Amino acid sequence: MEREAVLVGIDVGTTKIVALIGEVSRDGALTIIGKGPVAASGLKKGVVVNIDQTVHSIATAVEHAERLSGWKIDRAFVGVGGQHIEGMNSKGQIAVSGANREITREDISRAIEVARAVTIPSNRDVLHVLPRGFVVDGQEGVKDPLGMSAIRLEVETHIVTASATAVQNLSKCVQQAGVRIDELVADPLASAEAVLSDTEKELGVAVADIGAGTTDIALYTEGSPFHTTVIPVGGNNVTNDVAIGMKVDLQTAEDLKVKFGTCDLLAVDTEELMTVTMIGDDAGRDVSRLEMCEIIEARMRETFEMIRGELEAAGHGLSPAGLVLTGGAAQLSGITELGRDVLQMPVRVAAPTNVGGLVDHLLTPAYATSIGLLQWGARSLAVTDSGRYESAPSMGGLGRIRDALRSIFP
């Protein structure tokens, strides 16, 4: 395989931080050559609440990935999570400037700049300005207007913003861990990259990455995102409910949930008991499995109702390809059945695919964001390489990415 570039992704989640080093071949194939998943501390619902602890977790993840690969990490694509992430759509229109009225790269960039110039409060950072499509002299649905003759060029963009202070704190942690930032990528878009097919994105589809602290949602149609949002609930809420309802500690609740939990109440025997042993309680005690699963089902039903609210807010009937679930908490048994029941649309659970190398344990829903960050990086590399929309703010430069790493064996 001819290597095109080596790039790095860092997924800073509520319960785990994952640094991945990936090699991208000339034909776009991705191979993992280094990985460092570590338990996270210092975050709450995807947002940094303790700088020192987060720096330490990131540095440990980076160190693991470096040791495994023999590379030194210099810069990385970093995922941004948290409820503060928001998407909006904006249009930009310009008059085509050249004497022969032929659309140039500069015209495209100017149109994107106009779309970007919508009033964004000073406490928000722009993460992405993604061109969704162009309108050329009133002709809609143009994907690549370069070289077309026209008087007016209009671009439709999807803009993703985040809380400036949350972004600053995350950036600070990454930099203090010794890593520079290639690009900050909103978690919902990274997850989408890992689990949605191009056909689904074209047709119209939604993705929900149900993590520990948050659920990241993105909707795509005609190949591009048009709605991005994060809701502040995830698997931790389920575990908390189980702990309170069953009167057990959090670790016991987590274990019971993963081992015996399901959202499919019909699959649970009404008489079935589970024995829980807790510290200072040697004899153990029997609790009802159905009682626990009712707690789980209620919380997950509410979560799906919140997801349905988001899909409805974005527009009815816009995801004929249904909802794709991923994230660690999507591994809960019976989740697709409950999702279909609440949403009345096709639902499937997906894990990352199309990646080789050191993928043991990584091809599960919990790593969708982690692997998606590398796939996002590989894609922006391809876009920049072909020279399109060079000045679009969200695209990483090829030169920069080529220099992303230095070998520690000079």
Ligand X SMILES: Nc1ncnc2c1ncn2[C@@H]1O[C@H](COP(=O)(O)OP(=O)(O)OP(=O)(O)O)[C@@H](O)[C@H]1O
Which residues sit at the interface with Mg ion, rule CB under 5 A?
A: 13, 211, 369
- CA distance linking residue 58 with residue 52, whole number of Å: 10
Q: Write the burial class of residue 98 (CB in 10 Å: 0-12 exposed, 13-18 middle, 19+ buried).
A: exposed
Which stretch, 93-101, 128-136, 329-337, 399-407, contacts ligand X (CB under 6 A)? 329-337
Least distance to ligand X, CB of residue 67, Å: 22
CB 191 to Mg ion: min, Å:
8
Within 10 A of 291 (CB to CB), how many other CB atoms are there? 15
Q: Strand 30-39 to strand 16-25: parallel, antiparallel, or no bridges (unpaired)?
A: antiparallel
Q: Within a 10 A sphere around the Cβ of 80, how many other Cβ atoms?
A: 26
Neighbour count for residue 141 (Cβ, 10 Å) = 9
The listed partner (Mg ion, ligand X, none) that binds 15, CB under 5 to 8 Å by sort, is ligand X
Q: Distance (Å, rounded) from C-alpha 200 to C-alpha 353?
A: 15
Nearer to ligand X, 25 or 364 (CB): 364
Residue 204's binding partner out of Mg ion, ligand X, none, with CB under 5 to 8 Å set by partner kind: none
Place of tokens 């005690």: 285
Q: How far apart are CA 7 and CA 326, in angstroms?
A: 23
Q: Which amino acid is at 269?
A: D
Pick the closer one to Mg ion by CB: 87 or 235.
235
Out of 91, 172, 331, 346, the residue judged to bind ligand X by CB under 6 A:
331
366 binds ligand X (CB under 6 A): yes
Q: Binding segment for ligand X among 127-135, 138-146, 314-322, 328-336 (CB under 6 A)?
A: 328-336
Residue 329 or residue 350: which is nearer to ligand X going by CB? 329
**Binds 35, which of ligand X, Mg ion, none (CB < 5 to 8 A, cut-off by type)?**
none
**Which listed range, 69-77, 115-123, 151-159, 321-329, lies at the site for ligand X (CB under 6 A)?**
321-329
* Candidate residues 62, 153, 189, 332; the one interacting with ligand X per rule CB under 6 A: 332
SS3 state at 313: helix
* Residue of 193, 119, 189, 137 whose CA lies nearest to 160: 189
State which of residues 48, 254, 299, 352 lies at the interface with ligand X (CB under 6 A): 254
Closer residue to ligand X (CB): 206 or 325:
325
Question: Among Mg ion, ligand X, none, what does residue 234 contact (CB within 5–8 Å per kind)?
Answer: ligand X
Rounded to a whole number of angstroms, the minimum distance from the CB of residue 338 to ligand X is 13
Q: Which does 239 bind (CB under 5 to 8 A by kind): ligand X, Mg ion, none?
A: ligand X
Which region among 152-160, 212-220, 268-276, 313-321 touches ligand X (by CB under 6 A)?
212-220
Q: By rule CB under 6 A, what string of x and - marks binding of each residue 219-248 to ligand X?
A: ---------------xxx--x---------
Separation of alpha carbons 40 and 399, rounded Å: 32
Min separation Cβ 81 and ligand X, Å: 5
* Member of 204, 328, 334, 357 binding ligand X (CB under 6 A): 328
- Token pair, residue 126, equals 């722009």
User: Considering CB distances under 5 to 8 angstroms, the limit depending on partner class, which of ligand X, Mg ion, none binds residue 331?
Assistant: ligand X
> Cα–Cα distances in Å, from 34 out to 29, 72, 298, 304, 322?
16, 10, 40, 35, 34
CB-hemisphere CA count at 13 Å for 295? 21
Give the contacts of 333 (CB within 8 A, at least 6 positions apart).
Answer: 261, 262, 263, 264, 267
By CB under 6 A, name the one of 5, 114, 212, 343 that touches ligand X: 212
Only segment of 10-18, 55-63, 282-290, 394-402 that touches ligand X (CB under 6 A): 10-18
Q: Long-range contacts made by residues 91-99, C-beta under 8 angstroms, separation at least 24?
A: 91/115, 91/154, 91/155, 91/156, 91/157, 92/116, 92/117, 92/154, 92/155, 92/157, 93/152, 93/153, 93/154, 93/155, 94/152, 94/153, 94/154, 95/151, 95/152, 95/153, 96/150, 96/151, 96/152, 96/153
Residue 236 binding: pick among Mg ion, ligand X, none (C-beta 5-8 Å cut-off by kind): ligand X
Q: Which two tokens stand for residue 283?
A: 């004899």
Task: Tell me which residues touch ligand X (CB under 6 A).
Answer: 13-16, 46, 81, 211-214, 234-236, 239, 254, 257-258, 327-329, 331-332, 366
